[in-house]
Amino acid sequence: MQKIYFELEVYSFDIDFIGHVNNTVYVQWMEIGRTKLLEAVGMPTHQIFQQGFVPVLLQTNIMYKSPLYLGDRVQTEMWISELRNASAIMQFRFSNAQGILAAEGWQKGLFADRSTMRPKRLRKEERALFAPYVHLTDAV
């Protein structure tokens, strides 16, 4: 099974008035992860739109464990813990360069028909593209 791994850097605009990464930045980082997943399965965002469906975010849950600070390098790990016909649950872990867990969370997404915005079932061959990233035992 595969996971998506990528590194991020904490910039000054990511910092809140307390001096650590603002909680909303993690949602933006999750967006980067979802985009990287779609690219990895051969469905970059601009091509999905051409295929007539769109990914829609339904729910986000984040548990903050330890703060990240300006200049930190963030190690990000992402995978799918549940893949259904029209939806998926994506898991995320964010750690500092020393491997200390900063946050973990999940998002539920839905594939929708672009014209009706109603759920659209993935075809068998489309689901198969996501299968290598499904880790049923790694749920947060």
Q: Please, where are the H alpha helices in the chain?
A: 23-40, 45-50, 124-130
pLDDT in tens, 84-96: 999 999 999 999 9
What are the extents of the domains in the chain? 4-133
φ, ψ (nearest 5 deg) of residue 115:
-85, -35
Residue 83 has pLDDT above 90, yes or no: yes
How distant, in Å, are the alpha carbons of 42, 62, 76, 78, 82 from that of 24? 28, 10, 16, 18, 24
**Is 66 in contact with 101 (CB distance < 8 Å)?**
yes
**pLDDT of 139 higher than 90:** no
In whole angstroms, give the CA distance from residue 122 to residue 110.
10
The residue assigned the tokens 């601009």 is 46
Q: By C-alpha distance, which of 75, 88, 86, 90 is closest to 119? A: 86
Mean pLDDT of 109-130: 93
Condensed to tens digits (0 to 9), the pLDDT of residues 22-52 reads 999 999 999 999 999 999 999 888 787 787 8
pLDDT over 90 percentage in the chain = 84
CATH of domain 4-133: 3.10.129.10
pLDDT band at 103 (very low <50, low <70, confident <90, very high): very high
pLDDT of residue 73: 97
Q: Is the pLDDT of residue 5 over 70?
A: yes
